[in-house]
Homo-oligomer: A and B are copies of this chain.
Amino acid sequence: MGVMRMGFVHARVMNMEEAKDHYVNTLGFYPTHEEEGKLYLKGWDEWDHHSVILEEGGVGLVGHGYKVRREDDLAEIEKRAATFGATTERLPAGEHLEMGDVLRIHLPIGHYADFYATMTQVGNEVGYHNPDSFPWEARGIGAPHLDHALIVGDDMETTEKLFMDVLDFYPTERMLATMDEGAPLIATWLTAGNKSHDVAFLKGPDGKFHHMSFMLKDWAKVTDAADLIVHRDIPVDLAPTRHGITRGETCYFFDPSGNRNETFAGGYFAYPDRPVINWSMDQLGKGLDYYKREVTDSFLTVYT
């Protein structure tokens, strides 16, 4: 029950110089540490040391992490994971830069997830005394923080169950093959708190990555961001629209390595007693691109 949020995404990029330009100058994230082949970044409204790790060499997701409230939560999660039958391992404090003890759970879809209670706090960019609402020195889109990730793999049912039983996440929305009883689960949106989702999983090849998402203030910021994306001639995958699923406003585009980014706003406040919303695959168009009600070719085929 101690998971607070998705804390970081660790992704591979093909060319660090291009990637840095993208995440710093276009997305507006702040570099906090750079070393041979690795770059750590955070958004202006984040206080922990980093929420994005870029690693040179290839493309796709290396790993991702969730921050828990207390160190004790790690042991509790470890115990539950064992009961569930999931493989775990422990990484000692310091093995991850600026982080304390890490519990790693191997997910049944060729990905792992790291859990930690401690990361060096470096503070946000507006301070905590009579602060401004926005740091005007932010570059480009000026994205405040990492929001969530969409991760691809085959066994949706077990993955969802693991997040529910071991981690106390609950699903807010589900995509089912049909509305028939027992229809296969195609995708699930899961949250640990009150956001519409902290992570989502989509049925597909194990080990694949769909997108990492960055929260913007509102719809106007999503279209402002798209204006910049066009100006910099960045490939757009899903032009600004509304998701029927989560009701959030969205734009998908690709970083220079081909990893999909999302800028995201809106959504709703979720609670465990909120009835789960179910979608059927024949309405995926409405769920993905609410206005156009069509599925882009790439949504179910382009992963990294």
Interface residues of A (CB under 8 A from B): 1, 4-5, 45, 47-48, 67, 69, 121, 123-124, 128-134, 136, 144-145, 179, 193-195, 215, 217-220, 223-224, 226-232, 236, 239-242, 244, 247, 251, 265-266, 268-269, 271-280, 283, 286-287, 289-293
The docked-state distance in angstroms from the alpha carbon of A130 to that of B175 is 9
Across-interface contacts of A128 in B (CB, < 8 A): 275-278
Partner of A291 from the list B251, B269, B279, B280 (CB cut-off 8 Å) is B251
The docked-state distance in angstroms from the alpha carbon of A130 to that of B245 is 8
Are B244 and A133 in contact, CB atoms less than 8 angstroms apart?
yes
Are B231 and A136 in contact, CB atoms less than 8 angstroms apart?
yes
Are B275 and A239 in contact, CB atoms less than 8 angstroms apart?
no
Across-interface contacts of A5 in B (CB, < 8 A): 194, 269, 271
The docked-state distance in angstroms from the alpha carbon of A134 to that of B207 is 36
Are B130 and A280 in contact, CB atoms less than 8 angstroms apart?
yes
Name 29 interchain pairs, CB-CB below 8 A, sorted by A. Answer: A4-B271, A4-B272, A47-B274, A69-B273, A121-B275, A124-B275, A128-B275, A128-B276, A128-B277, A129-B179, A129-B279, A130-B244, A130-B279, A130-B280, A133-B227, A133-B230, A133-B242, A133-B247, A134-B227, A144-B268, A193-B193, A193-B194, A194-B269, A219-B220, A227-B290, A229-B291, A230-B293, A239-B241, A251-B291
The docked-state distance in angstroms from the alpha carbon of A161 to that of B133 is 27
**Nearest residue, chain B, Cβ from A217:** B266
Across-interface contacts of A223 in B (CB, < 8 A): 219, 242, 291
The docked-state distance in angstroms from the alpha carbon of A69 to that of B273 is 8
Q: Which of A128, A269, A276, A278 has the most CB of B within 10 A?
A: A269
Across-interface contacts of A132 in B (CB, < 8 A): 227, 230-231, 244
Across-interface contacts of A291 in B (CB, < 8 A): 223, 226, 229-230, 236, 239-240, 251
13 other A-B residue contacts (CB within 8 Å) besides A215-B269, A223-B242, A236-B292: A45-B268, A67-B273, A124-B275, A134-B227, A134-B231, A144-B268, A194-B195, A195-B269, A219-B219, A226-B291, A230-B290, A230-B291, A240-B291
